Structures are given as C-alpha cells and as structure tokens.
Amino acid sequence: MPAAAAIWRNLAAAATFALLVATAAAYTNHTVGGEPGWFFNATANTSSANFSDWAASQTFGLGDYLIFITNTNQTVIQTFNLTTYDACNADDASDDDTFEYNGGNAAFGERLTIPVPLTHEGLNYFFSDTDDGVQCVNGMRFAVDVKHGAGLPPSLSQPPPPPYTSPPQSPPVTIYNPSANRALRTSASMHQAACVLSLLALVLLF
C-alpha cells in the first residue's frame, strides 16, 4: 500500500507539472519590433523597426504580453478606438478605451521595459504620441488582431477591486444611565419640595 500511495503521489505531481507547462505554453511574450525594440531616431525621423510588418508576422491571443523595450523618449499608447489611432493623438481620448503605460516620466532617455497584457479580443492599436504625434506619423504605430486562443488566465480575468469608500458617519449615541436619571429625578423632587415649604412659610407669616 505505501508503494502504491507513492506511485499515485508521483503521478499527481507529474500531472500537475504537465498542466502548468501546458498553461505556460498557451501564452506568448512578444518583444515589440524584435531585437531593435520600440525606439525612434529623432534626427532621421525614423522608427527602429517596421512595426506593422513585425505585427503581421505574429499571432496574438488573449493572455499574451507585448514587451516594449524602449526608453522615456517614446510613449506607449494602447487604444481600441480607430479614430484615436488614426489621429496619432490621445489628448481627447476616452479613459474607457485608451491607456498610456509610461506617462509622467520626467527623465529623458531612461531605459524602460513595459509589459502590456492583451486582454481585449479583436483589434488593439498601439502608437507613440511623443512630439505631438510626429513619432506616430513616422512609423511608431501598429495594430494587432487578438484571437481568443486559450482565453484569459485567472491572473488577468479577475475584476479589479472596488474603489475605497469611507464608512458612513455613525449618529451620536445616547447612553441610558438609570442611576443618573434617578439622581436627576430626586434632585427635581427636592427642589419642588423646597418651593412648597417656602410658600407655606410665607402664608404662615402673613
């Protein structure tokens, strides 16, 4: 029996490992542009790669990642809105369909690696809107058609936590104290008795 239990444990461990390997193999990390990365030569006004050709050579599925090897001289904008993509500008885009992944960087030329998960099935558009869209117009843009594939893994399919809201203010609580109430009643009764005695005294005097 112990030998049989050990065999079953080994089989279970092997099955778990095979499942993990299969799950990992179902998703792909795509380095955008390949070895040249996501860069722009401002002197020549050229991108480091033909990103549309690169995207056409890949197959994308839900749960895959785009890995942008870049620096702070470029931005990474993801949008599901073709109008925003064609405009090469995200200034008037909606927060519901357009996202910037490296906004707010003040340093110039600082190296960055930006992983972007593909969580939206269908067409996803990417561009850099640096220099008022000059980079985008000159090649820093591409579209990917995301297939369902293996579907989203649990790590990407969970809804975000709800926003924090402060608890409601509790109304003031009046604590009933029988002893204090009795003391107040006794004091009031003594005051009334004193008033009655004072009136009697005045009547007797007159």
Q: Where are the beta strands (DSSP E) in the chain?
A: 29-31, 40-41, 46-47, 60-61, 65-71, 77-79, 98-100, 111-117, 122-127, 141-147
**Selection from 142, 115, 145, 122 nearest residue 33 by Cα:** 142
| pLDDT tens-digit map of 20-43 | 334 445 899 999 999 999 999 999
| Mean local confidence (pLDDT), 51-70 | 97
Task: Identify the DSSP state of 175.
Answer: P
**Selection from 87, 144, 75, 78 nearest residue 112 by Cα:** 75
Owner of token pair 């405009």: 87
Cα Rg of the chain, angstroms: 36
CB-side neighbour CA atoms (13 Å) of 124: 23
Residue 20: per-residue pLDDT = 39
Residue 181: per-residue pLDDT = 53
pLDDT, greater one: 11 or 132: 132
CA dist., res. 102 & res. 165, Å (int): 28
Residue-range domains of the chain with CATH: 12-157 (2.60.40.420)
| Mean local confidence (pLDDT), 156-183 | 59
| Mean local confidence (pLDDT), 182-197 | 52
Could you tell me how far CA 43 lies from the centroid of its own chain? 36
